[in-house]
Structure 1
Amino acid sequence: MALTLKSLNELATFTRPSGGGRFTPAGQFEWLDQNQPRFDYSNLGEALGLLLEPQATNLITASSYFDVAAGWYASNLIPGAAQNTAPDGTNTALRLIENTATAQHRAAWAPDQAVEDYTQTYTFSFFVRMVGNRTLRASFTDFYTGQDHAQVTYSLGSGLADGPGTVRALAGGWYRVSITGPIPYIDVLPYFQVTQAGSRTYAGDGVSGMEVWGFQLEAGDTPTSYIPTNGSQVTRAADQLFAANGPWRGAAGHLQVEADEGVNVVLEDSGIRAAGQGHLRSIRYLPGAA
């Protein structure tokens, strides 16, 4: 039987009432307009599938610029000009260089109030590229007492996170890292810092540090795709794919689905609906019982 190639919009309706981000085959982050499907790619240019995500809000109002007035705080890290190439190809990546003090070299998102609901779990994520022989650590930490409520140390080259976090390798030596945990009261903030051989306190050399970009703080226990902000919180709407019944639908049938674990594909009376969180690679409708 001959196969007929058709585009996605000939077979199904895709909706997302807002923009959304994805990575191109060249490994560059790009923001797509509303209702545009996001076919996502790995750092090696491998097709990952159609990216489906629930609604999410980036609570950080200054996601790609480092300004004290916008809520950022740095201790023994010196912000340089935002002129290095970021994962989206713009010259907006910020270089943070440690000073020569014997201390912790760290930064935090420290507005008057980072979140409003202290009962939820939150995920903090950002893009990073290390400068010099340093390692990376992130935490949810009390600004005044120094008590950690969650902490992660990252082995970027190995793709490992020691603690409740994730590492995703990207093109150009960049990584996207995350940490998940509680923010139980107003003084607990998302921190990130450079460390030396596992030590948080050390004498800086004045040249090592990191390049950072694309910060995100969101409710939930999994990092979703990056949502750029510039002065206010931004919400990305949920993705949904729906294929209405057609000649393919029989009196009885079942689905074979290839997708990430968080994707939900349901055979409804009126058609096939897909949503959730992850990459959808294929859906096959087969007549008869499973």
Structure 2
Amino acid sequence: MGLRYQPLAACMNVSRASTKLVRGPNGLLETRAINEPAYDHDRLGRRLGLMIEGAATNLLRYSMAFDNALWEKNSGVTVTGSTIPAPDGSQTAMQLDLPGSAAGADGLYQNVGELVTNDTYSFAVWMRAVSGTADITLGGIDGASANGFALDENWQRVWIAEPASGTARYPKLSTTITALPASVLIWNAQLEASPVPTSDIISNGIPAARACDDVRLDPGDWFAQGRGTMVFDLHTAKDWAGIWRIVQLYSASLNEGHLDLGYDSAADQLRISLRSGGVPLVTQSLYGALAKDSRHRIALAWDDDVISVGLDGVVLSSPDGFAMPRNFSNIVLGSFDGADKALNGHVRNLAYWPEKLSNARLSELSVV
């Protein structure tokens, strides 16, 4: 991951007031320290890019200790330890044996209160079959909902997202759909106020939180004020809600010189905005929907009196007739001022040129 004229790491600063779990190049989950960049990988060890996420909370208590009394069990359901390595390589996974029943409702569940009725929550858990294959059901956010998953002997993080049907719910692992016995390994369950689960957060008695990733580039000698081009190679999240940010360039505050590129998921549009001295100069919607869980290249280019954005080979430009601010001292990647409206995805690469490239070149650079 790097800039056109120097390595990105030379000017990148990451702040995060908590640790974070991501996959390492060995395919296992690894802890990233406070303020350490979270470079993520897939199960085979291939790099996905820099993961940038907003703050999140795991609403479940004892997310890994499934034998704790807070995890209630129907009759015949057992939870025991396991020596099979967990997704982080440790021996902290547990074995869940479900006897099956005529209704298939026997399972393991935790009572979670103070949910907001009709708000969307995601429930995720790492699972695999003890041997062979197994069918499992997740549910309990939207009443007696049932979502089936087929498991093999590889760890996978299965999840559902539904609106809460009440202020107290019981996220549950069962065999409701098949009503057949199943023996599975489980590790770190997570319930979030989000349409998609974020990276793992481990709780031990009380809900646990993870801080937002605040990722910034220091605009030193490499950065040209008044003009430039940035090309972002992104992989979007599996789902999203609200507005999230790709990049913000501003002076001492967001009300001063301010160039913003973001995505409004409700309107399904990329949007740019420009402020100078607290006065809006340009606010423009640009495109239709970005595909979820997909790779995209987005080019952002600016000069004294025009801003251009390229996506999928199409370039749109703002009306001209304004003077571009020349006092950008903050470059924030993937969040609103490092606090919220986060990307919740991966930045695979970022290229920079200290000039506004031609629309023809932007068209080429915005195609994956």
TM-score normalised by L of structure 1: 0.80
| d(CA) in 2 for partners of 1:270, 1:156 | 50
Partner of 1:31: 31
Q: CA deviation at 1:271?
A: 3.9
One-letter code of the match for 1:288? K
Give yes or no for contact 1:76–1:101 (8 Å, CA) kept in 2. no
Secondary structure of the 2:18 match is: coil
User: Structure 1 counterpart of 2:32, which letter?
Assistant: L
Q: Which runs of 5+ in 2 are unaligned?
A: 238-243, 250-327, 335-342, 360-368
Cα deviation, residue 18, structure 1: 0.8
Residue 218 (structure 1) aligned with residue 188 (structure 2)? no
Answering whether residue 157 of structure 2 is matched by residue 176 of structure 1, we say yes
The reply on whether 1:264 has 2:332 as its aligned counterpart is: no
Q: What residue number does 1:283 align with? A: 350
Say whether the 8 Å CA contact 2:98–2:174 is kept in structure 1: no
Write out aligned runs for 1:81-230 (5 A): 81-99=81-99, 102-104=102-104, 106-111=106-111, 113-131=112-130, 132-140=132-140, 147-148=143-144, 150-156=145-151, 173-186=154-167, 188-194=169-175, 199-202=177-180, 204=181, 208-230=182-204
Distance 2:141 2:54 in 1: 28
**2:213 & 2:100 partners in 1: Cα distance?**
47
Change over 3 Å in CA distance of 1:16–1:247 after alignment to 2: same
Deviates more, 1:102-111 or 1:280-289: 102-111
CA distance in 2, matches of 1:61, 1:253: 48
- Asked if residue 231 in structure 1 is aligned to residue 231 in structure 2, the reply is no
Higher mean displacement: 231-240 or 258-267: 258-267
4+ residue stretches of structure 1 with deviation over 4 A?
3-7, 100-103
Taking the TM superposition and a 5 Å limit, the aligned residue runs for 1:246-265 are: 246-250=220-224, 251-261=226-236, 264-265=245-246
Q: 1:285 to 1:243 in 2, by over 3 A?
A: same
- SS of the equivalent of 2:69 reads helix
Contact persistence 2:64–2:187 (CA under 8 A): yes
Report the alpha carbon displacement of residue 201 of structure 1 after superposing the two structures with TM: 2.6
Look up the equivalent residue of 1:237 and give its one-letter code: A
Greater Rg over alpha carbons, structure:
2
- Mapped partners of 1:239, 1:187: distance in 2: 30
Deviation at 1:107, TM superposition (A): 2.6
CA distance in 2 between counterparts of 1:180 and 1:100 reads: 24
Describe the SS at the equivalent of 1:221: coil
Alpha-carbon deviation of 1:52?
Answer: 0.7
**Number of positions where the alignment pairs a residue of Structure 1 with one of Structure 2:** 260
Match of 1:48 in 2: 48
Query: Per-residue displacement from partner, 1:210-247 (whole Å, max 9, x unpaired)?
Result: 11011100101011000011111111001121112122
Q: 1:232 to 1:82 in 2, by over 3 A?
A: farther
CA distance, structure 2, for counterparts of residue 85 and residue 224 of structure 1: 22
TM-score (norm: length of structure 2): 0.64
Tell me which residue corresponds to 1:165: none
Sort the Cα spacing of 1:120 and 1:38 in 2 relative to 1 into closer, same or farther, 3 A.
same
Distance 1:178 1:209, change over 3 A: same
Deviation of 1:60 after TM superposition, in Å, equals: 0.8
* RMSD, matched Cα: 2.5
User: What is the aligned partner in structure 1 of residue 15 from structure 2?
Assistant: 15
Which one has the bigger strand percentage?
Answer: 1
Contact persistence 2:136–2:148 (CA under 8 A): yes
1:81 maps to a residue whose letter is G
SS at match of 1:27: coil
Q: Percent identity?
A: 27
Which protein has greater RCO, CA pairs closer than 8 Å, 6+ apart?
A: 1
> How far apart, in 2, do the equivalents of 1:253 and 1:141 lie?
47
CA deviation after TM superposition for structure 1 residue 125, in Å: 0.3
Could you tell me how far apart the structure 2 residues matched to 1:5 and 1:253 are?
15
